[in-house]
Amino acid sequence: MKKILIATSALVATAGIAHAEVSVSGQAIAGLIYNSEGVEKTKLLNKVNIEFNGSGETDGGLQFGFNTNHIIENNGLSVDNDDTTVWMSGAFGKLSFGAVAEADEVAGLSDIGWDGLDVDDVAEALVGDELLDNGQAGKGLGHNVNYTYATGPVTFSLSGRLATSHGTLAPGASDAESYAAGVKYSFGTGYVGLGYGSHDFKLLAASPVAAMDRAKVVSVFAGATFDAIKVAAMYSDASFKSVTGVKSGADAYGLNASYTMDALTVSMGYSKANFDLATGRNDQKAFGIGAAYDLGGGASVSGGIAQVESVGDENQGNRLLPKAKETRADFGVTFKF
Amino acid sequence: MKKILIATSALVATAGIAHAEVSVSGQAIAGLIYNSEGVEKTKLLNKVNIEFNGSGETDGGLQFGFNTNHIIENNGLSVDNDDTTVWMSGAFGKLSFGAVAEADEVAGLSDIGWDGLDVDDVAEALVGDELLDNGQAGKGLGHNVNYTYATGPVTFSLSGRLATSHGTLAPGASDAESYAAGVKYSFGTGYVGLGYGSHDFKLLAASPVAAMDRAKVVSVFAGATFDAIKVAAMYSDASFKSVTGVKSGADAYGLNASYTMDALTVSMGYSKANFDLATGRNDQKAFGIGAAYDLGGGASVSGGIAQVESVGDENQGNRLLPKAKETRADFGVTFKF
Amino acid sequence: MKKILIATSALVATAGIAHAEVSVSGQAIAGLIYNSEGVEKTKLLNKVNIEFNGSGETDGGLQFGFNTNHIIENNGLSVDNDDTTVWMSGAFGKLSFGAVAEADEVAGLSDIGWDGLDVDDVAEALVGDELLDNGQAGKGLGHNVNYTYATGPVTFSLSGRLATSHGTLAPGASDAESYAAGVKYSFGTGYVGLGYGSHDFKLLAASPVAAMDRAKVVSVFAGATFDAIKVAAMYSDASFKSVTGVKSGADAYGLNASYTMDALTVSMGYSKANFDLATGRNDQKAFGIGAAYDLGGGASVSGGIAQVESVGDENQGNRLLPKAKETRADFGVTFKF
């Protein structure tokens, strides 16, 4: 007995019903990914993502809901989660818990390619939760609370990594402390934004990233759409203080542009991140071009190729390691349900 | 393409269709939990629970179905299961497999608070599957088969932990053997109940809980609703025999009362468990008060505060360890979809 | 607020809508499994399988979709995946990624019993992904790409295990390389089929299955339905080359027959696999009988008993170990939603 969920476009009037609802949607992708420096250069990738979204409204007009994803990659044995949030919103704004957006990442850049070649990650290396990845610092930086308030064209956001054992344990064992704020001004088809993040990693002096123990990051964002052309850019500047008080800095910037002709969209991205010698990190650079073709009905085929100069898959290089320049490419189909 | 599931209240006549169906519902919570003895006293907690329920009917009128939950806590990486059962029912009664109710826990007490402060756990320490928790005995006690038969106001239940390697391996390695029976009599807005559980943990003499290797537990339950007031109480008495044949005992009792005024419900709970010295366990005590406010549309806000005197989070203390008195509190929103 | 998914038989016209859709269905089973050689001979088994299927169509008429299962066995803590695929099809045929069918397993035999006693596994020991199981070779053989083209009564298939680090690492560390092809001809109520598989396990000389490092397998299949009787048979012949170049061989065959009277189906299966001494494996044999009764509404009750002569649960015996003859039985209910 197969069940079919009713598409929102079906003429079933549920909008007038006050009851909270769960909707099920999904995404499936299949294709090839290439990395010139991989043990095996070309790999197959397929992924199915079942998305559950809940939404409801209280008698007093407060909106509430959740979003969660159940992911299976390459027919792996386990069902994994990605980005689960619980939220409520009303006249006071919107409050979210879980895998929330970091407020200083006001408007990240789009990535290049099909599954994504991480061209944008170099430009975003100093904002959001990407400053130190888990592999190097052993500490997550993802925020778990976000408050956003929109009034007319202006949107304010605050977010933080709260109540996750930071400051209650010895340095090294204690989790990172992190806060961020952002503001975005939209006009016509464009926007400008300003972000600020403050992080205290509570690292040990022996940590390979001890030079960046405390960080203040200011970022600016701008973007606009001119007919078939869409452009977005960002710049960020970080000031670091090491475990022993030594100061250093870094900046990062990037640009993404795309042009759409009927079903075809071509895009390019460029990103650069410069680190002071004292940070112990290499400079990073990425450039890529991609194309996507909309097949209709929720299906598209897309691909991209990029040259990325960094150490590690997440583009977070430690200067102690040699530079690495990778050629990355991907190509595949994306189906949305 | 988002899909929206039709709420049961929508005017779509599926009741008359004989086909087996899967329904999707859910619950999301977000809030704060506090424990005076925690490494970090206050923590954020958010949880999304997707519930799948199947139900159908054979040509001969046998009902059947399943219940399962897919849970994501604090945006964790994995999707976890809680309480999956498969059941069938008919004139013969109802037979359930999986995460079934233990028959001697005829009517457990409600907990206090939002996510729950485990005030009821002290009163329930001797019934159901709570006698020895996994941490101490290394053995689960959850039953996996339940048979329930209801006739008029009387409901009988039998349950057991069957076919999970108990008795087939050496003591210590063998799993616990456990059976329970219960009967409940309902009248007007009230009920009385009687439960009996028999457990053989097949422990080694060196086990820290060897004094309670075999247990017989008798429990009584009563509850009633008087207009806006709801009261429930339970008492249980356990007789233990140690690995070497030494006898001891314990008793536990508790009370839960709540008062509802329109959308607001206030509640209190008190629990006490007394262990003979020979059991090697400390006496336990818990008291808490809570409040819940129904926001309508499936949303509520609730919280509680409790003082709990026990060792360990599950209120299962070993007398060898010092007493621990904790203050616990929680507060948050609950959304049902 | 419970949501009920609309059964396909409900009078909601979604067929005419071009949008991609996700459907949710499921299966739940509960019963007993017996193995004469088990540490605990009789065990309870219950399993809930939530199935998600996506399907859609591009503007150009290309079909696409996915299939995935979320499984919970015996109320285990985790939600597991089984057999996730992403596919697309059109005039060119059907291309699948993920947990695809191996092309040489043109028409496997049905198993005997309720949850399945693996009687068919002996006959299928040389085809598909069953030649070396993970336990012995440490290497998976499951294919991840399948291309199938059907024209009139003839269906061609090609499949492979692609881009999973085979050939890029040292022998032993490198994954298996595997390809297969199959063709099936259907007529009236019957079919004949031919399959070919080629595998290179890239084993070390010290591997216990080093004698079967490279394998070529030819298989033939036939089946037909005569009124209430359904018969299927298969034969396969394998040529092995060891790590050091020593040649050996094996063959395997099996038969499955069933007879249906109204709601009752009785079935029998026989399987045999013969290995050359040089392969280091024991011969294997299995015989079983079973019965299934359709209760209507998606429910059935079924069971079987079999005698299986092999080493290991997957019927993949190493000759260095003693022979093992097991009696297996199972009995339980199956509910489809």
CB atoms within 10 A of CB A246: 13
| Same domain (yes/no): C237, C92 | no
Q: Is the pLDDT of residue B260 over 90?
A: yes
| Same domain (yes/no): B92, B23 | yes
Rounded-to-5 percentages of helix, strand, coil across chain A: 5, 55, 40
Average pLDDT, chain B: 88
Q: What is the CATH number of the domain that holds C227?
A: 2.40.160.10
Whether C328 maps to a domain, the answer reads: yes
User: Which of B50, B66, B99 delimits the end of a domain?
Assistant: B99
Average pLDDT for A179-193? 97
Whether C152 maps to a domain, the answer reads: no
User: Which of C47, C71, C99 delimits the end of a domain?
Assistant: C99
| pLDDT tier at B7, thresholds 50, 70, 90 | very low
| Same domain (yes/no): B246, B326 | yes
Q: What is the pLDDT of residues A271-300, one digit of tens each?
A: 999 999 999 888 889 999 999 999 999 999
Cβ separation of B83 and C75 shorter than 8 Å?
yes
Burial C86-122 (b: 16+ CB within 10 A, else e): bbbbeeebbbbbbbbbbbbbbbbbbbbbbbbbbbbbb
Percent of chain B scoring above 70 in pLDDT? 88
Cβ separation of C12 and B8 shorter than 8 Å?
no
From first CA to last CA, the distance across chain B in angstroms is 20
- C-alpha–C-alpha distance, residues B189 and B222, integer Å: 11
Cβ separation of A80 and B76 shorter than 8 Å?
no
Task: State the pLDDT at residue A9.
Answer: 32
Q: What is the pLDDT of residues C310-334, one digit of tens each?
A: 765 443 444 445 557 889 999 999 9
For residue A135, the distance in angstroms to the closest alpha carbon of chain B comes to 16
- Among B4-18, B200-214, B216-230, name the one with the lowest average pLDDT: B4-18
Give chains near A: 3+ CB pairs under 8 A: B, C
For residue A200, the distance in angstroms to the closest alpha carbon of chain B comes to 17
Q: Is the pLDDT of residue B311 over 90?
A: no
Task: State the pLDDT at residue C82.
Answer: 86
Q: Which residue has the higher pLDDT, B13 or B163?
A: B163
- C-alpha–C-alpha distance, residues C101 and A40, integer Å: 24
Cβ separation of B98 and C74 shorter than 8 Å?
yes
Structure tokens at C263: 């709601």
User: Which of A77, A99, A121 delimits the end of a domain?
Assistant: A99
Q: Find which of B141-145, B181-185, C277-281 is predicted with most confidence, using mean pLDDT.
A: B181-185
For residue B127, the distance in angstroms to the closest alpha carbon of chain C comes to 21
Whether A4 maps to a domain, the answer reads: yes
- Among A200-204, B55-59, C11-15, C27-31, name the one with the lowest average pLDDT: C11-15
- Among A84-98, A321-335, B210-224, C41-55, name the one with the lowest average pLDDT: A321-335
Cβ separation of C68 and A74 shorter than 8 Å?
no
| Same domain (yes/no): A177, A68 | no
| Same domain (yes/no): B71, B44 | yes
Average pLDDT for B150-176? 85
Task: State the pLDDT at residue C156.
Answer: 98
Q: Is the pLDDT of residue B315 over 50?
A: no
| Same domain (yes/no): B65, B127 | no
Interface test with C, best of A11, A22, A48 (most C CBs within 10 A): A48
| Same domain (yes/no): B122, B270 | yes
Task: State the pLDDT at residue A37.
Answer: 81
Q: Is the pLDDT of residue A2 over 50?
A: no
Percent of chain C scoring above 70 in pLDDT? 88
Task: State the pLDDT at residue A319.
Answer: 47
Whether C149 maps to a domain, the answer reads: no
Whether A158 maps to a domain, the answer reads: no
Give C-chain residues touching B141 at CB under 8 angstroms. Answer: none
Cβ separation of C17 and A1 shorter than 8 Å?
no
What is the tally of structural domains in chain C? 2
Residue of chain C with shortest Cα separation from A22: C3
Cβ-nearest to C163 among A25, A43, A299: A43
Task: State the pLDDT at residue B102.
Answer: 96
For residue C17, the distance in angstroms to the closest alpha carbon of chain A comes to 8
For residue B82, the distance in angstroms to the closest alpha carbon of chain C comes to 7
Q: Is the pLDDT of residue C99 over 70?
A: yes
Give C-chain residues touching A5 at CB under 8 angstroms. Answer: 5-6, 21-24
Q: What is the pLDDT of residues A93-146, one digit of tens each?
A: 999 999 999 999 999 999 999 999 999 999 999 999 888 764 555 677 899 999
Burial C65-76 (b: 16+ CB within 10 A, else e): bbbbbbbbbebe
Whether A50 maps to a domain, the answer reads: yes
C-alpha to C-alpha distances, B99 to A38, B81, B84, B282, C77, nearest whole angstrom: 45, 11, 5, 29, 11
Whether B266 maps to a domain, the answer reads: yes
| pLDDT tier at B8, thresholds 50, 70, 90 | very low
Task: State the pLDDT at residue B330.
Answer: 97
Cβ-nearest to C81 among A9, A28, A77: A77
Average pLDDT for B137-152? 88
- Listed in sequence order, the residues at least 6 apart from B38 whose beta carbon sits closer than 8 Å to its beta carbon are none
Range of the domain at A95: 1-99
Whether B270 maps to a domain, the answer reads: yes
β strands within chain B, DSSP E: 3-4, 6-7, 21-35, 42-57, 63-73, 80-81, 85-90, 93-98, 145-151, 154-161, 177-187, 190-200, 214-226, 229-241, 247-261, 264-275, 284-296, 299-309, 325-336
- C-alpha–C-alpha distance, residues A136 and A317, integer Å: 9
| Same domain (yes/no): C325, C215 | yes
Q: Which residue has the higher pLDDT, A173 or B202?
A: B202
| Same domain (yes/no): A270, A313 | yes
Average pLDDT for B122-149? 84
| Same domain (yes/no): C117, C63 | no
Task: State the pLDDT at residue A8.
Answer: 37
Q: What is the pLDDT of residues C232-243, one digit of tens each?
A: 999 999 999 999
Cβ-nearest to B19 among C75, C77, C298: C298
Torsion angles phi and psi, residue B52, rounded to 5? -115, 130
| Same domain (yes/no): B113, B211 | yes
Give chains near C: 3+ CB pairs under 8 A: A, B
Task: State the pLDDT at residue A320.
Answer: 45
Q: What is the pLDDT of residues C18-70, one digit of tens each?
A: 578 999 999 999 999 998 887 788 899 999 999 999 999 999 999 999 999 99
Cβ separation of A78 and C80 shorter than 8 Å?
yes
Q: Which residue has the higher pLDDT, C337 or A9?
A: C337
Cβ-nearest to B98 among C46, C78, C296: C46
Task: State the pLDDT at residue B17.
Answer: 44
| Same domain (yes/no): A81, A126 | no
